[in-house]
Structure 1
Amino acid sequence: MKKYLIIMLASLSIYLVSNDQIIFAKDVEKIGYLVIERPHTLEKIKDFPKLPYRSGVGRPEGVILHSTGENDKTLEEWISYEEKTWENAFVHAFVDDRKAVEIADPNYLCWGAGKVANPRYVQVELVEFPDGTSKIKMMQSIEQYAHYIARVLKQFNIGKPTLADEINGIGTIITHNSVSKYLGGTTHTDPYNYLPKNGFSIKYVFSRINYYYYSI
């Protein structure tokens, strides 16, 4: 079983990402979770369709955790790509290690996870990094991801984080993989195809969402 610990020692920080991966960071200010007050960026790129959730405008029931599925684009390139292909699919926000960028108004549904899930959830994409990317950079992206998702839960009074992956698809946080498993209408497995292979469990991401939810 993987254990996640943070040990801070004066001028040197040790980050035990899992039981076999240790990160040393001399400049602790570069780690995202030490800058939790940094707001997400709002950059709406298109006047997307304004369709209400099944419970009404501004009433999402939770958040879907996505990852991009490919690691060959930057956040800006993903936004540009989605601007051109939104009629096929689009999400509410993209996140990397530097910022979270909201591209569609989360008061209205998007279509990124099939007809069952789309009318229920805000949907957020974590930009995948190429193999060999530093663990610190990946950690920063997870912190931005978790911080933005916690803000969404608070903004829409959705309620405290509960991980649907562990309770038969019922909860305020659900992965695209569990949408496929429990709700249907899609067959994607993200972010399980990305995070675990890089040493980060879904439980770890959820723990960071939980941390920010009770911190902001």
Structure 2
Amino acid sequence: MLKIFLLFVSLILTSVIFAPATYATSPLLNFNESHSTVMTQTTKINDTLLNANQPSQNKDTSTLINYPDVNQYIIQNNINHSNVIKDSRMNTLPKLPYKYGTYKGVVIHEVGEDNRTLQQWVDRMYDTYKIAFVHAFVDNKEIHPWLAAYMLKQNGLTPSFADKNKWIGTIISHNAVRQYWGGTTHVDPIAYYGKWGYDMQQFFELVTYHYNHM
């Protein structure tokens, strides 16, 4: 099972209880259906890529599998973006201002666990909001870069890549937060992306593509 990802508002120095909690869902998803029972277009992408590159039992599996260009697959096949659900429970939480007065961007974070569903992660945030709060979630059934682009667009920001610009930008990995801001030892989602032949640069390029086509 592919790991669940989170997107949450940066900066770390800002309050995290402000923007509506959102998460992307498949256009085929009924709100009352379990995520685990729904086969979305994005899931089909994952299956296609994995099946096309799955080594046979007779092949040497010690080397990294060379996956196709995921971004081009999504673009060339005109994969539709997912819907966004805004959780009404956000209306029950305290509304605190950002420390520096405004929304700064999106931090790309991987939870590192496979044992919870997307809905369970969303519910957990409401149980622990006094400690930390994540604004948006996606799992392997959603298109992650589209949601990041959507969050930037909704808050009047344009895509810029902070990982390669000493934290200045609107898209930044949790690993870059560690490098430039401190306060964490986490290096995600670098290793997870690398496992699938992907990286933050490709992610940012797909965010930019979706942003420009909204």
Q: TM-score band (shorter)?
A: 0.5 to 0.7
CA apart distance, 1:63: 1.0
Q: Is the 8 A contact 1:196 1:202 kept in 2?
A: no
SS in 2 for 1:63: strand
Whether 1:208 aligns to 2:206 is yes
Aligned to 2:147: 148
Q: Is the 8 A contact 2:160 2:171 kept in 1?
A: yes
| Residue number among 75, 78, 81 corresponding to 2:118 in the alignment | 75
CA apart distance, 1:151: 1.1
Count of aligned positions: 151
| Residue number among 7, 14, 20 corresponding to 2:66 in the alignment | 20
Aligned to 2:96: 51
SS in 2 for 1:94: strand
Percent identity between the two aligned chains: 34
Pairwise CA RMSD: 3.0
TM-score relative to the length of structure 1: 0.60
Distance 2:191 2:78 in 1: 24
CA apart distance, 1:41: 1.1
User: CA distance change for structure 1 residues 206 and 194 in 2, over 3 Å: closer, same or farther?
Assistant: same
Q: How far does the alpha carbon of each residue in 1:10-62 deviate from its partner, in whole angstroms, 9 at most, with x for none?
A: xxx88999981249xxxx99x996113x4311114352331111332xx2111
Of structures 1 and 2, the one scoring higher in RCO (CA 8 A, sep 6+) is 2
Unaligned runs of 5+ in 2: 1-47, 54-63
CA apart distance, 1:162: 1.2
Write out aligned runs for 1:100-139 (5 A): none
The amino acid across from 1:157 in the alignment is: G
SS in 1 for 2:106: strand
Q: How far does the alpha carbon of each residue in 1:140-162 deviate from its partner, in whole angstroms, 9 at most, with x for none?
A: x4xx2111111111111112x11
Q: Is the 8 A contact 1:162 1:173 kept in 2?
A: yes
Aligned to 2:128: 85
Structure with higher helix content: 2
Q: Is the 8 A contact 1:69 1:193 kept in 2?
A: no
The amino acid across from 2:86 in the alignment is: L
SS in 1 for 2:116: coil
The amino acid across from 1:175 in the alignment is: S
Distance 1:54 1:77 in 2: 29
Structure with higher strand content: 1
Task: After the TM superposition, list the runs of 4 or more consecutive aligned residues in structure 1 that deviate by more than 4 angstroms.
Answer: 13-19
User: CA distance change for structure 1 residues 93 and 54 in 2, over 3 Å: closer, same or farther?
Assistant: same
